[in-house]
């Protein structure tokens, strides 16, 4: 391997054995493998790439696409089924929680233990310990067994150790997501400093595309264990985003997309139909950021309701309520008679950033009794456009007026 290559991965395939029952593993051993009690699952298939010194590479892909498997193969924790990994330099890894630390040892003991594994002497670790403790900032827990740590404390100590052992290659597998925001920022600042040494390599698995774009020069996109794309982080993240959009659209077009719908009805109301429509009244499933939002709801009422309240709101994928509007805001009492009703809810602009959203629809009577409550209804998309990756992270797409003094155009 040439000296400027830090990691070389050639035709890497990893197959896991899946046993139907825990006892099947023993049965297979007892038959000396003559009878097969397992099936094979290919988590990585024929993956090849090289990483040069000084590169920061993000590994992205959906859950189960093989990212952690790849990192574990690079770190030597797993053995490949086929292919080879060559690593040129000292590798320090911050893998999933629990990896590498012994839960019965104290934090201090684990730090020294990690140092020994990576070939550092006790004196070398003595001289670094104060910095590790200061960075981790977990106080007296340093002398408590690691099993008593919260996941955040664990990752603090593991990260502090990983960056203070002079790694040539630092591997970070999503673990940072556990730390609080201030700690994450501190970690990324420190990673940036580490990278000022042009010889170092950082491999980062993250679901946060913005983090990957900001931090990595290159990204590798894995899909079902294969490389879908490998190139400049911006381009690969954009491709990943487009693929994700396509998949969400596909999910949205299937009946499964209604699986989030949760309806609680007193029996006095039947929801007939709810959809998003364009300005011509045509049903649509996606809108662009900042477009108008028009929701049309048809329902049948079996009783008459005096002074009811209709509430329409939007929800995020985690069902968090994003907005709620009520007809009570009209200030005019309304009355609903038995029969079919049609309600349209119109917003000039829907200010939320690209993502998947749902509609919530509630009817209360004048005593605030819930007559009908539907959540997770009518899934729709605010789609990412090509400018998405130049924009800062946000939840809302607001359209401010700017006053810029002394700025030349
Ligand atoms: N020890 C194992 N035995 C059997 N299958 C496994 C094992 N470890 C992982 N897998 C399977 O291999 C596939 C890839 O898993 P891996 O953890 O590498 O994915 P990932 O991209 O890191 O996912 P995530 O984003 O959810 O962390 C998954 O389908 C997973 O279920």
Q: What is the pLDDT of residues 86-133, one digit of tens each?
A: 999 888 888 765 567 888 899 999 999 888 888 888 999 999 999 999
Could you list the residue range(s) of the whole structural domain that residue 56 is in? 5-250
What separation in Å is there between the alpha carbon of 5 and the centre of ligand 1? 27
Name the pLDDT band for 259 (thresholds 50, 70, 90): low
What's the rounded Cα separation, in Å, for the pair 73 and 14? 9
Residue 403 in domain: no
Q: Are residues 246 and 265 in the same domain?
A: no
Name the pLDDT band for 255 (thresholds 50, 70, 90): very low
What separation in Å is there between the alpha carbon of 148 and the centre of ligand 1? 27
Tell which of 196, 220, 250 closes a domain: 250
**Chain Cα centroid distance, residue 15:** 25
Q: Is 29 in the pocket of ligand 1 (CB under 6 A)?
A: no
Q: Are residues 236 and 270 in the same domain?
A: no
Residue 85, pLDDT > 90, answer yes
Q: Are residues 243 and 316 in the same domain?
A: no
Mean pLDDT of 50-63: 92
Q: Is 41 in the pocket of ligand 1 (CB under 6 A)?
A: yes
Q: Is 14 in the pocket of ligand 1 (CB under 6 A)?
A: no
Residue 167 in domain: yes
What separation in Å is there between the alpha carbon of 44 and the centre of ligand 1? 9
Residue 263, pLDDT > 90, answer no
Q: Is 61 in the pocket of ligand 1 (CB under 6 A)?
A: yes
- What's 17's domain CATH number? 3.40.50.300
Tell which of 250, 269, 304 closes a domain: 250
Query: Which pLDDT value is given to residue 310?
Result: 95
Q: Are residues 209 and 353 in the same domain?
A: no
Tell me the per-residue pLDDT of 286-301, one tens digit each, with 9 for 90 and over.
888 778 889 999 999 9
Q: Are residues 296 and 190 in the same domain?
A: no
Q: Are residues 264 and 246 in the same domain?
A: no
The ligand 1 atom nearest the CA atom of 62 = 25
Residue 153 in domain: yes
Tell me the per-residue pLDDT of 296-319, one tens digit each, with 9 for 90 and over.
999 999 999 999 999 999 998 778
Q: Are residues 305 and 376 in the same domain?
A: yes
Based on the number of CB atoms within 10 Å of its own CB, is 58 exposed (0-12), middle (13-18) or buried (19 or more)? buried
Residue 409 in domain: no
Query: Which pLDDT value is given to residue 274?
Result: 93
- Cβ-based neighbours of 260, under 8 Å, separated by 6 or more: 319, 358, 375, 376, 379
For a substitution probing ligand 1, which of 38, 66, 79, 175 has the most ligand atoms within 8 Å of its CB? Answer: 66
Q: Are residues 331 and 351 in the same domain?
A: yes
Q: Are residues 243 and 313 in the same domain?
A: no
The ligand 1 atom nearest the CA atom of 174 = 27
Name the pLDDT band for 181 (thresholds 50, 70, 90): confident
Query: Which pLDDT value is given to residue 226?
Result: 96
Q: Are residues 172 and 72 in the same domain?
A: yes
What separation in Å is there between the alpha carbon of 68 and the centre of ligand 1? 7
Q: Are residues 209 and 275 in the same domain?
A: no
- What's 314's domain CATH number? 2.70.50.60
What separation in Å is there between the alpha carbon of 235 and the centre of ligand 1? 25
The ligand 1 atom nearest the CA atom of 222 = 21
Give yes or no for a contact between 243 and 356, defined as CB atoms under 8 angstroms apart: no
Mean pLDDT of 25-35: 73
Q: Are residues 162 and 60 in the same domain?
A: yes
Residue 291 in domain: yes
Distinct helix (H) and strand (E) counts, the chain? 8, 21
Q: Is 67 in the pocket of ligand 1 (CB under 6 A)?
A: yes
Exposure letters 229-256 (e unless 16+ CB within 10 A, then b): beeebbebbbbbbebebeebeeebeeee
ipTM of the complex: 0.96
Tell me the per-residue pLDDT of 126-147, one tens digit each, with 9 for 90 and over.
999 999 999 999 988 999 999 8
Residue 393 in domain: no
Dihedral sign (CA 25, 26, 28, 32)? positive
DSSP output for 203-272: EEE-S-HHHHHHH-SEEEEEETTEEEEEEEHHHHHHHHHHHHHHHHHHHHHSGGGGGG-EEEE-SSEEEE
Residue 70, pLDDT > 60, answer yes
Residue 77 in domain: yes
Residue 323 in domain: yes
Residue 229, pLDDT > 60, answer yes
Tell which of 250, 282, 312 closes a domain: 250
Query: How many domains, in total, are found in the chain?
Result: 2
Query: Which pLDDT value is given to residue 186?
Result: 83
Q: Is 68 in the pocket of ligand 1 (CB under 6 A)?
A: yes
């Amino acid at each position: 391997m040439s000296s400027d290559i830090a990691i070389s991965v050639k035709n890497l395939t990893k197959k896991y054995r899946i046993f139907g029952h825990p006892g099947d593993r023993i049965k297979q051993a007892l038959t000396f493998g003559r009878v097969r009690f397992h099936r094979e699952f290919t988590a990585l298939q024929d993956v090849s790439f090289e990483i040069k010194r000084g590169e920061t590479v993000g590994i992205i892909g959906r859950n189960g696409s093989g990212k952690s498997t790849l990192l574990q193969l690079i770190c030597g924790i797993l053995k490949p089924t086929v292919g080879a990994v060559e690593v040129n330099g000292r590798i320090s890894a911050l893998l999933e929680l629990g990896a590498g630390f012994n839960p019965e040892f104290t934090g201090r003991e684990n730090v020294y233990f990690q140092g020994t594994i990576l070939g550092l002497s006790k004196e070398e670790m003595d001289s670094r310990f104060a910095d590790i403790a200061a960075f981790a900032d977990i106080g007296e827990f340093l002398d408590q067994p690691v099993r008593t740590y919260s996941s955040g404390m664990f990752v603090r100590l593991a990260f502090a150790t990983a960056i203070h052992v002079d790694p040539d290659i630092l591997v970070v597998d999503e673990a940072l997501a556990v730390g609080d925001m201030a700690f994450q920022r501190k970690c990324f600042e420190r990673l940036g400093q580490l990278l000022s040494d042009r010889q170092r390599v950082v491999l980062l698995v993250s679901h946060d595309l913005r983090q990957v774009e900001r931090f990595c020069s290159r990204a590798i996109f894995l899909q079902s264990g294969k490389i879908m794309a490998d190139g400049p982080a911006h381009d690969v993240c954009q491709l990943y985003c487009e693929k994700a959009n396509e998949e969400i659209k596909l999910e949205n077009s299937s009946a499964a997309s209604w699986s989030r719908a949760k309806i609680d009805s007193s029996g006095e109301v039947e929801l007939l139909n709810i959809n998003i429509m364009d300005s011509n009244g045509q049903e649509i499933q996606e809108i662009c950021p900042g477009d108008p939002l028009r929701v049309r709801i048809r329902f049948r009422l079996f009783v008459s309701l005096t002074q009811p309240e209709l509430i329409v709101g939007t929800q995020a994928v985690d069902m968090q309520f994003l907005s709620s509007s009520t007809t009570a805001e009209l200030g005019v009492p309304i009355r609903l008679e038995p029969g079919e009703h049609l309600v349209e809810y119109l917003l000039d602009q829907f200010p939320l950033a690209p993502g998947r959203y749902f509609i919530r629809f509630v009817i209360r009577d004048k005593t605030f009794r819930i007559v009908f409550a539907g959540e997770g209804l009518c899934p729709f998309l605010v789609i990412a456009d090509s400018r998405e990756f130049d924009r800062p992270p946000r939840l809302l797409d607001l359209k401010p007026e700017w006053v810029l003094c002394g700025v030349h155009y």
